[in-house]
Amino acid sequence: MSLPWDQAADLFTAHLADERRMADKTVETYTAALAEFAAFYLAHAPTDDARQVTADDIRDYLADLYDRNKAASIAKKLAALRSFFAFLKRQKWVDDNPARAVKTPKVRRTLPAIVSVDEALRLVAPHGDDTPQDIRDRAILEMLYGSGLRVSELVALNLDSIDHESRIVRVLGKGSKERLVPVGSHAARAVDNWRRVRTDILRRGHAPDAHALFISREGTRLSVRSVQRMVRARGLETGTRESLHPHALRHSFATHLLSSGADLRAIQEMLGHASLSTTQRYTHVSIDALSRVYDNAHPFAQQPPRMSAAADKHTNTAATAPQGDPNEASTK
């Protein structure tokens, strides 16, 4: 029995959204990857049967991508195909996962950008005349850096997401997984200031998104793109970075916690990572911090260790003792 590609792709997409509860953006990424492969495969294959796809078909597809895609992008497309065929195998619609036999292209890992503590202070410092927009933007920056939120998580916050007594924010992360993250005193004050200004905006009659914490001048919930633009502009204004992304503040949150001695598992929980290895990629410890640890902990870091008096005497005696004739020693 054949399995038409479109039917298989629809079943897989429904599985991602309904059973695995993946974020809409992730589902869209997987769907686009499958559609791109299908366009290539169906242009060459005699059938649209998903069960007939081989590892060589996938290799041919990846080879076609190399001229116009980076290795990281190709690796993501291959990961989508592996997940798709793994699903078909679990449903017993295919015997093997052909994508498993295809080697993942080598991806050069780069450290994500971070800001220093001084740069973070400049970013959240007051700018301008304390306009409602400036007060709101400071609260956003404080939450991004102070609680390590993803920008999509930040714009999804509602008024009741933050418990101001316990200073805890309830975050709905990837896969609709909820987590609780501490809110620092600076961020809590900034959000309180914004809430008072926000009330004035709503009194003007603009209330299309009355429950959203961060809203525009028209009362609508802020979009991810608008926050990205604001962060980039603030980075330019403060001379922090020419192209500053909100995710850099999330990276900085994790890195600065780790540099100050926080437990990696605790950071993982706050970031909402399913895997500890993901957290490790997000964190960098500065070379200065590593050097300080080495200098303070390693016995050879500062100067060579002194020998004991007995060992020192033995070394000096051995150095001054007559060595004899090496030729004589060799004939004995």
For the cut 90, the answer to whether the pLDDT of residue 85 exceeds it is yes
Average pLDDT over residues 164-186: 88
Could you tell me the sign of the dihedral formed by the alpha carbons of 46, 48, 49, 53, in that order? positive
Summarize the confidence of residues 200-228 as an average pLDDT. Answer: 83
Q: What is the CA radius of gyration of the chain?
A: 29
Q: Which residue type, as a one-letter code, is found at position 227?
A: V
| Nearest alpha-carbon partner for 58 in 37, 73, 32, 39 | 37
| CA distances, 250 to each of 57, 162, 325 (Å) | 39, 18, 71
Which residues are CB-contacts of 98 (< 8 A; sequence separation ≥ 6)?
A: 53, 54, 55, 57, 58, 85
Report, as an integer, the average pLDDT of 114-139. 87
Asked if 8 contacts 88 with a C-beta cutoff of 8 angstroms, the reply is: yes
The rounded percent of the chain whose pLDDT value lies above 90 is: 42
**Tokens found for residue 117:** 């503590």
Are domains 5-101 and 119-243 of this chain identical in fold?
no
User: Is the CATH number of domain 5-101 1.10.150.130?
Assistant: yes
| pLDDT tens-digit readout, 237-283 | 888 777 889 999 998 998 888 888 888 889 999 998 888 877 877 66
CATH topology of domain 119-243: hpI Integrase; Chain A (1.10.443)
Q: Is the per-residue pLDDT at 325 higher than 50?
A: no
CA distances from 274 to 240, 279, 290 (A): 31, 9, 27
Task: Give the torsion sign (CA, 145, 150, 151, 155).
Answer: negative
The pLDDT of 216-231, averaged and rounded, is 90
- Please return the burial class of 255, using the count of CB atoms within 10 Å of its CB with bins 0-12, 13-18 and 19+: buried
Q: In this predicted model, which residue has the larger pLDDT, 33 or 208?
A: 33
Catalytic annotation, residues: 150, 174, 247, 250, 273, 282
Give the 3-state secondary structure of residue 39: helix
- Tell me, what DSSP letter sits at residue 17? I
- pLDDT value of position 328: 43
Question: Phi then psi for 221, rounded to 5 degrees?
Answer: -60, 135
pLDDT of residue 303: 56
Q: Taking residues 84-97, report their average pLDDT.
A: 94
CA distance 78 to 84: 10
Q: Which residue has the higher pLDDT, 328 or 215?
A: 215
- Helix and strand numbers (H, E) in the chain are 15, 3
Residue 259, pLDDT score = 82
Q: Between 224 and 281, whose confidence is greater?
A: 224
Q: Which pLDDT score is estimated for 107?
A: 72
Per domain, the residue ranges of the chain are: 5-101, 119-243
The structure tokens 């709503």 sit at 202
Q: How far apart are CA 330 and CA 70, in angstroms?
A: 66
The one-letter code for the residue type at 221 is: R
pLDDT level of residue 291 (50, 70, 90 thresholds): low
